[in-house]
Amino acid sequence: MSTRAETPAGFEPEETEFSVGEMLRRIGRGELASVRVLVAIAVIWTIFQLANDRFLSAINLTNLTLQIAAVATISIGVVLVLLLGEIDLSVGAVSGFAAGVMAVLTVKEGLNPELAIAAGLAVGALIGLFNGFFVTVFGIPSFVVTLAGLIGFQGALLLVLGDTGTVPLPPSTITDLTHTFFDPAIGWLLAAGVVGAYVVSVLVGRARRQRAGLAVPPLIQALIAPALVTAGAFATVAILNEDRGVPLALVIVVALCVVLAFITERTRFGRHIYAVGGNAEAARRAGIRIKRIRVAVFTIASTLAAFGGILAASRLLAVNQQSGSGEVLLFAIAGPVIAGTSLFGGRGFVWSALLGAIVIGSITNGMDLLGLDSDIKFIITGGVLLAAVTIDAATRLRREPSG
């Protein structure tokens, strides 16, 4: 009652009632896309578990996290580019090329592994700058610029690998990235840290709203999402601890998601990314420097692609001529789209990178367990992508104003 009295005059706050019907309506409209994906993951896992009871075993789920780490990392950058209403087709080739540069520098030139990783990331950043430059200064569609990059950087990978073709990576910091597992106790601590930080941020945000005299949902409702995240985090750690422990690669991917989700959703820069993707002309007239935003986003995306390539090389223990080619690009773009990030710009969220990678990774992993052939695997994965994009388009149609 008292919070209501403090709300600004002349404006009735919306009644924030909690009902299952309202929630279903919002899921249908794409507002709670993450819930939709979680349901999809539950269905997929149930199907594969029924088909093969090893699917949900600790060892297989640990493998799944390692399998998706690289693509999920690349996808985070793809999400940012998609939010702008642009596309980056070069992320796969860039991931391979950057990993190739890193591998050659450390194996053939004897550079220390940490510096080689930094060099690989720098290559990614430079390529992103280059992409952003062509898109903004010359006004060339990003589709074309990055298509050229897709072809060109594949060639560049072959060039740096030289005659050997494959560069194996000896044990080092690079290979440790995906071959390190934490003690069970540290795994629990990590989960507690993530959950604690999340709950605190929810409560602080709520307190700020109350202080500003704004309506807040009932505490129970505000804690639904944190409760689900808590349950998910501890269940994940429990399962992973049964096998080798929480993989470092998973910690890296989650940390990247947390940082970039914060940047996109809570900072001015992030708000401007959404604004450019929603209405670039409006953003320009509002004084937003849209060229600078575009260049920054392409740079971040290519850097993340490079890091994804490094993770892939770490897991494979080598860089070869196929690194970053084939399904890497397709899965890196399909994942976020499946999980609710729009191809049309302005709508989406960073976590869709991880959620989408889990969907695609689960399907691939599950079909591998069943021993299906590549032909069937590609057809089914393509069908899932088409279904997801159809859902995206359908929610867009429903969003069109009726008046």
Partner 1 sequence: MNQSQSTAQASESSSLSEPLLALKGFSKSFGAVEALKDVDFELRAGEVVGLVGDNGAGKSTLIKAIAGVQPPDEGEARFEGQPVNLNSPQAATALGIATVYQDLALAENLDVVANLFLGQEVADGWPGVDVLDEASMEHKSMELLGSLGVTTLRSVRTEVADLSGGQRQAVAIARSLLGEPKVVLLDEPTAALGIVQTQEILKLVERLRERELGVIVISHNLANVFTVADRIVVLRLGRLVASFDARDVRREDVVGAITGAEFGDERPTEEAPL
Place of tokens 């629990």: 188
374 vs 402 by CB, closer to partner 1: 402
Q: How far apart are CA 377 and CA 364, in angstroms?
A: 7
Cβ of residue 287: shortest distance to partner 1, in angstroms? 4
Per CB under 8 A, the list member of 164, 201, 221, 267 interacting with partner 1 is: 267
Of 284-303, binders to partner 1 (CB under 8 A) are 285-288
Give me the least distance between CB of 259 and partner 1, in Å please: 11
Give the binding-site size for partner 1 (rule: CB under 8 A).
Answer: 38
Provide, rounded to whole angstroms, the least separation between the CB of residue 186 and partner 1.
Answer: 28
Q: Which residues of 204-228 are buried (b: 16+ CB within 10 A; e: fewer)?
A: eebeeeeeeeeebeeeeeebeebee
The nearer residue to partner 1, 12 or 375, going by C-beta atoms, is: 12
Shortest CB 207 distance to partner 1, Å? 9
Contacts of 7 (CB under 8 A, 6+ apart): 13, 213, 214, 215
Region near partner 1 per CB under 8 A, out of 153-161, 237-245, 340-348, 378-386 = 340-348
The DSSP letter of residue 19 is -
Q: How far is the CB of 159 from partner 1 (least distance, A)?
A: 38
Quote the CA–CA distance of 70 and 49 in Å, as a whole number: 24
Cβ 46 to partner 1 shortest distance, Å: 34
Closest C-alpha among 300, 214, 244 to residue 62: 244
With binding defined as CB under 8 A, does residue 282 bind partner 1?
A: yes
* Shortest reach from residue 60's CB to partner 1, in Å: 38
Question: Nearer Cβ to partner 1, position 68 or 275?
Answer: 275
Helix axes 290-316 and 268-278, enclosed angle (nearest 10): 100
Q: Is residue 340 part of the contact set for partner 1 (CB under 8 A)?
A: no
The helix or strand, by DSSP H or E, that contains position 178, with its residue range, turns out to be helix 173-179
Integer Cα distance of 129 and 155 in angstroms: 19
Amino acid at 372: L
Nearest-5° Cα angle at 268, 267 to 272 = 120
For residue 194, count other CB atoms closer than 10 A to its CB: 18
Rounded distance between C-alpha atoms, residue 1 and residue 8, angstroms:
14
Our finding on whether 326 is near partner 1 (CB under 8 A) is: no
* Closer CB to partner 1, 294 or 347, in the complex: 347
Q: Is 7 a binder of partner 1 (CB under 8 A)?
A: yes
Site for partner 1 in 174-213 (CB under 8 A): 205, 208-209, 211-213
Residues in the site for partner 1, rule: CB under 8 A? 7-14, 205, 208-209, 211-214, 266-269, 271, 274-275, 277-279, 281-283, 285-288, 345-347, 399, 401, 403
